[in-house]
Amino acid sequence: MCKKIIFYLILLQAGVVMTAHARALELFSDSLKINYQYDYIFMVLLSRESITSPNGSVNKSSVYIRPYEYNPGTPYVDSLVANGYYSIPLETIHYDHGNVVGGSVTTFYPSGKLMPKEVMALEIPSTGITQTFAYSNYTPYPEPPGWVYGLNPDPHYKLRVMLDKYNDKQKVLQKTIVGGTTTSYVMGYNSRYTIAEITNAKEEEVAYTSFEKRSPGTWQFSGVASIDETAPMGTQCYELSGGALSKAGLPANKIYQLSYWKKAGASINISGATVIKTITGRQLNGWEYVVVQLSVNGIVSLSGSGYIDEVRLHPKDAMMVSYCYRPLFGKISECDARGNTQYWEYDALQRPKFELDRDKNIVKSYDYHIKN
């Protein structure tokens, strides 16, 4: 197979404005060429790529439209441009032999930050849409009455994903698949990592904490976590006598599932909700797993004495997966929706050393050898 790179650079000058157009042809075989076309102002930004036959016909291509290619008029597009976010494609269109076969449009919150709000995808009718499709930065001529400048998606685009909520660190807290489920997230470690992912639940319907450093989660409590190497999740737990845990603002008239690990001798009291059923699960290193079904009326509080860990709350028909990390190393534990936990240990060079099952039995080990 032959491979060579050919670069073309054309400089254009109009008045005092200097623009540039760069094109690269990458030859993979004697029959097909991959063409890369870059923006005439920002040469590092790819605007189009295509696969062509020897006769020059285009087999497949993709087009990328970025914020600075729109007329002012859409607040979030104008905000992205004003804050220098030029490189993010707002629309991507895919062609196959001249026919539109796919595309997406991403909208953003008008905050001036990279916070996507909605993702739309093309819905392709059986007859195709090549003759009726318009780019989202298209302005018709003559302009129809009431035409609004800015980003105007083609009518064939349909909403697919909504990113409903963010925290103050621009991390997604809730997303919704149109016609599907809502997934919410709890962030930890100063919002660097996701510590819980809850499927089929809204952000205001869930609460989670495993009391790790810089990861209080979404339960409210005033006490201080304690280091305990036997803790079922992570390396810290919480003494309830230091202050109750509470979660307010829960939608009422729903059945919730509360689960937690309690250390031998702990006494847990639940208030603000009606207990429907309590199930005592397995034990591990002096800890016991407990699952409680609750009828909630806006708030749930846990008080008492003794140590508690991995406290989860979500609607009964939701599922939660949680994670703990050792910063600069990686994930050290992951607990699935049924409360089964998998563990990881690392060596002094931050490399994975052991994988352990829910009973902390080694199921996989890693050895490293330096090749001479």
- Under 8 Å between Cβ of 61 and 95: yes
Quick one: which H or E segment has residue 13? strand 4-14
Cis before 142? omega within 30: yes
What whole-number distance in Å separates Cα of residue 276 and Cα of residue 113? Answer: 45
3-state secondary structure at position 75: helix
Contacts of 138 (CB under 8 A, 6+ apart): 152
3-state secondary structure at position 372: coil
Give the pLDDT of residue 161: 98
3-state secondary structure at position 60: strand
Residue type, 16: V
State which residues of the chain have pLDDT below 70: 1-31, 40-43, 130-131
Give the pLDDT of residue 97: 87
What whole-number distance in Å separates Cα of residue 177 and Cα of residue 335? Answer: 24
Residue type, 340: N
- Under 8 Å between Cβ of 237 and 263: yes
Side-chain half-sphere exposure of 1, counting CA atoms within 13 A = 8
Question: What stretches of 66-154 adopt beta strand conformation (E)?
Answer: 91-96, 99-108, 116-122
Give the pLDDT of residue 2: 41
**What sections of the chain are H helices per DSSP?**
75-82
Other Cβ atoms less than 10 A from the Cβ of 177: the count is 12
What whole-number distance in Å separates Cα of residue 263 and Cα of residue 311? Answer: 13
End-to-end distance of the chain based on CA atoms, in angstroms?
33
Contacts of 61 (CB under 8 A, 6+ apart): 48, 49, 50, 51, 94, 95
What whole-number distance in Å separates Cα of residue 245 and Cα of residue 238? Answer: 10
Confidence (pTM)? 0.86
For 79, phi and psi rounded to 5 degrees? -70, -40
